Structure 1
């Protein structure tokens, strides 16, 4: 049965208060689909639906819910029920939820948890938001360095239910230092008596808990890893970052960059659930700043009032030229922001990228000038055509070079290059385009 059919049937059963049907239907949902269904329900409904699931399934579904909804539902749960839920959740997910709880509730819940789980939760919750430690999990499969293949397989069988992934297995020495890794396939294919130390890989890719989480995500993507081990200063294994967590980070970072690219502040939670005031607050600051930035465009027009009054036909081409400058600048900015974000372009590449953009922008400007000069000749004659064509080359080149350089400048200043957004670049290009256009017109027309 499809998700839409299941959702409609479940709502019908809820309206009829058919407990048996509800219990059967919730078991048919995939965990992610049931979480999607609960996202649009009231907290009380979420609690009732989750109560129909076994503890392990409940924890899995709960992990797919948005953090804000998790916190709301957790607030309505009993301390005993919440403690059981936290114990069954993945270590990184329960740490995120734990950090959203009030301090009194945190203390009360910790008292009801087993010592080992309590200490793990405290440690995982201590890492700062945005770091590798905040997204890693302590549920991994590990074997001792001196074990044989048969012994390692036996250990993996016993620990598999609690591990987030068993396809990558970590080899530790007697003080928990990471000395190697091996895959489940290598364990299965080698002889039972073979020592682990003879088949493990010792060339390790690792990261540290206080590193930025986007760096870990980038490493997993670059090297096609199933998981990335996280070690402390003593080389002891403290957790792993799995590829699915890395995908979540990549999606989150891309969303933040897109929002910044539209001069919108980062939204916490869902756009669907954001309040009107939140949406207003996230957008108004940059809009007001850009309004005042456009004063420079108006000042440029006022400065060349005599040129405009003498050749009123110039006004016809003004939107076309400044729009082209803004569009070219936005394209260049988008390319550089993405290049810097993915590591494809480094801050030291500015001179090389500037030279390349100069040549590309020159080609773009000449092509667009050729097209617009024909309109200029029809509307105002040869002189106007020359003004418009020359201005088009100049404004496209200036817009492109400003759009390309601004992300590098912001990165150098320690700001997010994504702030070099399309509206910001377009506003700067507009002001520069107006001044350049009328300056060229004044020079060519002899005014």
Structure 2
């Protein structure tokens, strides 16, 4: 006799939650997709959406409501969303893109090739398509390309009651506040800005002009459409408004929202980390990168470092007689060049991050050098004593101990100088200071550190 197994669809009246996206698709209801979204984190959504077969992707596209489509595509990476839409016909892809804010849709569409891009834009709703086209016209990684062109606004003659009514139409945008503008032929001329707090605390009959932050102050944390997106983090930190306006003169073009600012900060931090690790930025999620792409991003940097490291061998070749005459000098080469590289890496890591967050520039070189050289002197003394103790424990001659001690101090100070100045100089000439990565600074210090070591040895050791 066979026992039929019963699989309950609900517990205490609640529908069972699909454990995977594929299971949710198999249930074939929009409710199942919504339940899966409610129980799944962003990373898991990204992973499962990537893994869908074309027929599964098509089935999912018909189960998504406008709300669930927006939530799904807005919480996965643009590359994952793009790959998902590639599995659909143009009409379905366009319909899903219409559910997104125009800036989010533009982030996905910019990844497409030109033909695919034009086909999707033609299939989208006219207003959404026109808005996305406007964003795509701005250069990549500028404030104009990342802004949201839709924002809440009222006329200067309005009351707080009118501003509240405008905010209620689109409450999701309330965190941006309400802008006070005058519509002119050139666009929306900004007069001021009402913070969310002003909307809550102001009397309903109070004119917005008495509560708004005037445009002169708003411009202090606004960006121009051609400003690099890396400036966003500093603007928002200096003025905790929750939104960064994008302005062309006196006219408001759009806003950078909290979510966009967070994305930009994460992207910039990731790019800096990759460059400081001695690799070009991937520009796509790591899990979607092929070995071929990883090779293309890493090999050029490694070849540059390889060529730069060749002069270390040249230096050792130039001093081979000294090494042959006193073999114990070779004992300390790894210690000396390793210490110099470590000191330089510490400084560049801190300085590059400070340049990104606090706007430190070449004009601040005096303050930077003053701070770092004093620190370098303290570190040089500490490491020189440590080096002397290590040399003594190896039982080498006194003049070798003295050579190692002085060399360590000199290399630490030299590394401090190079690491403090080079990022600022690169920024001044328009290059990303993150290219002075840990491997790069270590390579620069390796060869020069060896020269310092052997020159001090020749000056102190009689037999050389």
1:204 aligns with 2:218: yes
Aligned to 1:148: 159
Decide whether aligned partners of structure 1 residues 256 and 106 sit closer, same or farther in structure 2, where only a CA change above 3 A counts: closer
Separation in structure 2 between the aligned mates of residue 68 and residue 185 of structure 1, nearest angstrom: 36
**Equivalent residue in structure 2 for 1:179, among 185, 191, 214:** 191
* Partner Cα separation in structure 1 for residue 62 and residue 162 of structure 2: 40
Change (3 A) 1:184 1:352: closer
Residue equivalent to 1:78: 89
Return closer, same or farther for 1:135/1:380 CA change in 2, 3 Å cut-off. Answer: same
- 1:396: which partner in 2? 412
**Gap change, CA 1:135 and 1:254, over 3 Å in 2:** same
Q: For the Cα contact (< 8 Å) 2:91–2:123, is it kept in 1?
A: yes
Q: Choose which of 385, 403, 406 in structure 1 pairs with 2:401.
A: 385
Separation in structure 1 between the aligned mates of residue 313 and residue 37 of structure 2, nearest angstrom: 64
Superposed CA RMSD: 2.5
Q: Is the 8 A contact 2:388 2:405 kept in 1?
A: yes
SS in 1 for 2:149: coil
- Structure 2: distance between partners of 1:142 and 1:186: 14
* Partner in structure 2 of residue 41 of structure 1: 51
2:280–2:301 contact (8 Å) kept in structure 1: no
Measure, in 1, the Cα distance between the counterparts of 2:344 and 2:200.
56
Secondary structure, aligned partner of 1:240: strand
Aligned to 1:91: 102
CA pair 165-217 structure 1, distance change in 2 beyond 3 A: farther
Please state how far the C-alpha of 1:92 moved relative to its aligned partner.
Answer: 0.3
Q: Decide which of 75, 78, 87 is 1:67's aligned counterpart.
A: 78
Spell out the pairing of 1:255-270 with structure 2 (5 A cutoff). 255-270=270-285
Give the conservation status (yes or no) of the 8 Å contact 2:57–2:87: no
Where structure 1 has 5 or more consecutive residues not aligned to the other structure, the ranges are: 1-5
**TM-score, structure 1 normalization:** 0.90
1:228 aligns with 2:240: no
* Matched residue, 2:298: 283
Shift of 1:275: 0.8
Post-superposition shift, 1:360?
Answer: 1.9
- Counterpart of 2:255 in 1: which secondary structure? strand
* Equivalent pair of 1:131/1:209 in contact (CA under 8 Å): yes
The 5 A counterparts of 1:363-382 are: 363-378=378-393, 379-382=395-398
Q: Deviations over 1:236-265 (max 9, x none)?
A: 222111122111111101111111111101
Correspondence list, 1:112-123, <5 A? 112-123=123-134
**Residue 310 to residue 112, structure 1, CA distance change in 2 (3 Å):** closer
- Tell me: CA distance 1:238–1:394, structure 2 relative to 1, closer, same or farther (3 Å): same
CA distance in 1, matches of 2:390, 2:120: 74
| Shift of residue 287, structure 1, vs aligned partner | 1.6
- CA offsets, 1:356-394, max 9 Å, x none? 322222221121111221232342132221111111111
**2:28 maps to 1:19:** yes
1:126 has 2:137 as partner? yes
TM-score w.r.t. structure 2 length? 0.87
**Residue matched to 2:356:** 341
1:238-257 equivalent positions in 2, closer than 5 A = 238-257=253-272
Q: Does 1:10 align with 2:20?
A: yes
- 1: distance between equivalents of 2:40 and 2:182? 39
Looking at structure 2, the residues matched to 377 and 304 of structure 1 have their Cα atoms a distance apart, in angstroms, of 24
* Structure-2 change in CA distance of 1:79 and 1:282 (3 Å): closer
Residue 39 of structure 2 is aligned to residue 29 of structure 1? yes
CA shift at 1:204, angstroms?
Answer: 1.5
Per the TM alignment, residue 331 of structure 1 is displaced from its structure 2 partner at its CA by: 1.5
Indicate the residue corresponding to 1:164 in structure 2: 173
The 2-side partners of 1:245 and 1:311 are apart by 61
Counterpart CA distance in 2 for 1:22 and 1:193 is: 46
Give the total of aligned pairs: 438
CA contact (8 A) 1:321 1:433 kept: yes
Deviation string for 1:403-447 (max 9, x for gaps)?
222212222332111111111111111111111111111211122
Match of 1:189 among 191, 201, 208: 201
Select 2:433's aligned residue among 417, 423, 443: 417
Displacement of 1:58 after TM fit? 0.6
Greater Cα shift, 355-364 or 35-44 = 35-44
Secondary structure of the residue aligned to 1:301 is helix
Judging changes above 3 Å, is the alpha-carbon distance between structure 1 residues 54 and 18 closer, same or farther for their aligned structure 2 residues? closer
The equivalent residue for 1:354 is: 369
